[in-house]
């Protein structure tokens, strides 16, 4: 069985704020057995998967990691919503790149808005995140630029022999700053220093679907696609 099942099962239970004991009772199994399922120690049968799908109102494909959408829905490129930046006419030869472009644009839209919820007044987290994304785009553009030896070298003021190393250094610094700010924010939330419930926005399948509608589908598909490559 896919090793995604135990992860998704645990995530769904915790998102619903259900105890392991109560969930086990509702599903008609022992708490010990549910614990084994959640840890991936034991595999369950098809009947139990169907019962879990009904209990959490999600699809079996989602439980097994075959779909990033809780309902198991699949989308075509035409069904991915355009961000304000995507206005081009889609042609058959652009379908794959267009789909990925939409996923990236829409996912960045969600990312930036969530960061806004956790940021401080100086917008340090936002600024570093945006700078990181810009660096990544800049770096890949320079690499693509090398594909044609006749492309204008005067487009850039930083020498090609130094650019890649400098970009990697800046991205590493930016990533470290964002990570440090995220840890600081997490500590502040735990200690309840802010006293502002809006600051404590919780990211979950439910909140993504509720607050970002169809844009969340793009982000979930992007996560799914990237993690397939990581594995």
In whole angstroms, give the CA distance from residue 207 to residue 205: 6
* Entry pTM: 0.69
Residues 6+ apart with CB under 8 A from 106: 80, 81, 83, 215, 218, 219
User: What number is the average pLDDT over the span 63-72?
Assistant: 79
**CA torsion, ordered 59, 60, 66, 71, to nearest 10 deg:** 0
The HSE-up count of residue 32 (CA atoms within 13 Å, CB side) is 0
pLDDT tens per residue, range 154-198: 888 888 889 999 999 999 999 998 888 888 877 877 776 555 544
- 37, 31 in Cβ contact below 8 A? no
pLDDT tens per residue, range 129-155: 999 999 999 999 999 999 998 888 788
Longest pairwise C-alpha distance within the chain: 69
- 50, 27 in Cβ contact below 8 A? no
Q: What is the pLDDT of residue 9?
A: 92
In whole angstroms, give the CA distance from residue 151 to residue 139: 16
């Amino acid at each position: 069985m896919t090793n995604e099942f135990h992860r998704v099962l645990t995530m769904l239970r915790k998102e619903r704020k259900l105890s392991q004991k109560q969930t086990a009772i509702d599903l008609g199994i022992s708490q010990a057995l549910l614990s084994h399922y959640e840890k991936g120690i034991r595999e369950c049968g098809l009947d139990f998967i169907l019962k879990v799908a009904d209990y959490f109102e999600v699809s079996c494909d989602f439980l097994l990691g075959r779909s990033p959408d809780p309902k198991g829905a699949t989308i075509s490129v035409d069904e991915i919503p355009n961000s304000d930046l995507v206005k081009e006419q889609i042609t058959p030869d652009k379908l794959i790149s267009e789909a990925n472009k939409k996923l990236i644009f829409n996912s960045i839209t969600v990312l930036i808005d969530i960061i806004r919820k956790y940021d401080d007044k100086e917008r340090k987290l936002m600024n570093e995140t945006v700078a990181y994304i810009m660096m990544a785009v800049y770096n890949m553009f320079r690499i693509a630029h090398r594909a044609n030896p006749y492309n204008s070298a005067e487009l850039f003021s930083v020498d090609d022999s130094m650019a890649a190393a400098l970009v990697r250094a800046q991205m590493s610094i930016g990533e470290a700053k964002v990570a440090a700010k995220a840890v600081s924010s997490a500590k502040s939330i735990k200690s309840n220093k802010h006293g502002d419930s809006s600051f404590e926005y919780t990211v979950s399948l439910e909140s993504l679907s509720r607050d970002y509608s169809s844009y969340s589908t793009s982000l979930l598909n992007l996560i799914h696609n990237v993690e397939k490559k990581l594995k």
